[in-house]
């Protein structure tokens, strides 16, 4: 696996990246109300503004990118029904920092995780939200699951990794093999192949559904805040501090 740096055109702190299932359209968000968008698979990026005063930590959408959700500080959740052209605030019912958002490929079920072990779930495409019990009290930075939402994984403080086999009803701690902060998890639609990124350029990979993890070289010492890839996992992008964008084609 090799990674190549791409030019984002900004030094904004990126915290999350998402794209269509084929990777042709990509969005990355972060601090200072900034969002960058690419319509050529990450080769070139354009800077836009969402229009919120809060930093946004996570972005997710349907497989075709027509519907998007973003989550951030103070329990903020935003939704877009037009591919990111306009955004509307949603009521999450929580004041905790929401650091990650994920949903099924059709967007009917959506989950968000964050501070104090917070896990929120919506079964009506983000219109209303209910809190679930994670069993932990540390910060959860990222959530990912299979395309049908049946299996879910969440990562967070000090290498913590949680897994659910029942759509988030119950959660079990797994061994990631590291104590670094883990900021983002992504995988193939069936959950068999998974990747995690975190502090100090940490990249972890699992090819057995999260049972075992292997460290990969990222060629950067910057913290990596988010990872995304095509649905088959053959093309991956990771973003992080100091405008870092890494790409892997394997």
Average pLDDT, the chain: 88
Question: Would you list the domain boundaries of the chain?
Answer: 4-249
d(CA 105, CA 165): 17
Q: Specify whether the CB–CB gap between 121 and 149 falls below 8 A.
A: no
Query: b/e string for 47-58 if b means 16 or more Cβ within 10 A?
Result: eeebebebbbbb
Specify the 3-state DSSP secondary structure of 170.
coil
Within 13 Å, how many C-alpha atoms sit on residue 145's CB side?
29
Which portions of the chain are predicted below pLDDT 50?
A: none
- Residue 1's pLDDT is what? 54
pLDDT at 22: 87
- pLDDT number for residue 36: 85
Question: What pTM was computed for the model?
Answer: 0.77
- In this prediction, residue 226 carries a pLDDT of 82
The predicted-structure confidence for 187-215, as pLDDT tens digits, reads as follows 998 999 999 999 999 999 999 998 899 98
| Distance, CA of 157 to CA of 115 (rounded, Å) | 10
- Please report the pLDDT score of residue 2 as a whole number: 67
CATH classification code of 4-249: 2.130.10.10
Burial of 217 from C-beta contacts in 10 A (0-12 / 13-18 / 19+): exposed
């Amino acid at each position: 696996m090799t990674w190549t740096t791409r030019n984002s055109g900004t030094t904004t702190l990126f915290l999350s990246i998402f794209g269509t299932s084929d990777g042709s359209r990509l969005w990355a968000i972060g601090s200072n109300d900034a969002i960058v968008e690419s319509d050529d698979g990450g080769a070139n990026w354009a800077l836009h503004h969402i229009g919120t005063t809060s930093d946004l930590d996570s972005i997710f959408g349907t497989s075709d990118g027509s519907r998007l959700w973003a989550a951030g500080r103070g329990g903020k959740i935003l939704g877009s029904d037009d591919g990111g052209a306009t955004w509307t605030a949603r009521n999450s019912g929580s004041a905790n920092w929401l650091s990650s958002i994920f949903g099924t490929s059709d967007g009917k079920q959506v989950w968000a995780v964050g501070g104090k072990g917070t896990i929120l779930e919506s079964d009506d495409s983000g219109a209303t939200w209910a809190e679930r019990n994670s069993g932990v009290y540390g910060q959860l930075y990222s959530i990912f699951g299979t395309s049908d939402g049946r299996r879910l994984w969440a990562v967070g403080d000090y290498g913590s990794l949680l897994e659910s086999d029942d759509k988030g009803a119950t959660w079990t701690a797994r061994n990631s093999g590291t104590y670094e902060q883990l900021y983002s998890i992504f995988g193939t639609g069936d959950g068999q192949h998974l990747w995690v990124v975190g502090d100090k350029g940490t990249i972890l990979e699992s090819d057995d559904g999260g049972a075992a993890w292997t460290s990969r070289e990222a060629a950067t010492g910057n913290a990596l805040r988010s990872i995304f890839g095509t649905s088959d996992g053959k093309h991956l992008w990771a973003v992080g501090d100091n405008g870092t964008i890494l790409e892997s084609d394997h």
